[in-house]
Amino acid sequence: MRAILVTTAGCILASVAIGVQAKALSKNDRYACSWGSEIAATAQQSKLTGVTLYAARKRLQARKFPKPWMRMTALGITEQTYNSRSRLKPAAIRQTYQEQCIQHAVARK
C-alpha cells in the first residue's frame, strides 16, 4: 500500500513538473515534442507488429507533412526507434519521448 502511494505521488509530481516546464516552452517547441512523440510511438507500434524498417520508411515517404523539416526528422526518429532494443509499449515510448524532448528544450533555453 505504501509503495503504491509513493509511486502515485511520484507520478503526480512528475506530471506537475512537466506541466510547468511545458508552459515555459514556446508553442512551436511543445508542438514539435508532441509531434515527435507520436512519430516515435507509431514507429514502435510498427516495430512490435513486425513491420520492416523499409516498409515503415516507405509509409513515411508517401505521407504528406505540413512543414519541410518533418519528413527527415520522422525518418530519423523511426530509424532510431527500430535500432533500439526496446520492447516497451508505444504509449510508454510516447511519454518518454515527450518528457525527454521537453527537458532538452528547457535545457536549451
8, pLDDT greater than 50? no
Q: Give the pLDDT band (50/70/90) at residue 1.
A: very low
> What was the pLDDT predicted at 109?
81
Residue extents of the structural domains in the chain:
2-108
pTM above 0.85, yes or no: no
In single-letter form, the type of residue at position 71 comes to R
Q: Which three cell numbers stand for residue 90?
A: 508505444
pLDDT at residue 6 greater than cutoff 50: no
Query: How far, in Å, CA of 94 to CA of 89, rounded?
Result: 9
The phi and psi torsions of 87 (rounded to 5 degrees) equal -120, 20
pLDDT at 18 over 60: no
- pLDDT tens digits, one per residue of 21-54: 446 789 999 999 999 999 999 999 999 999 999 9
Q: How far is CA 61 from CA 20, 78, 91, in A?
A: 35, 12, 24
Flag whether pLDDT at 62 surpasses 90: yes
pLDDT at position 71: 97
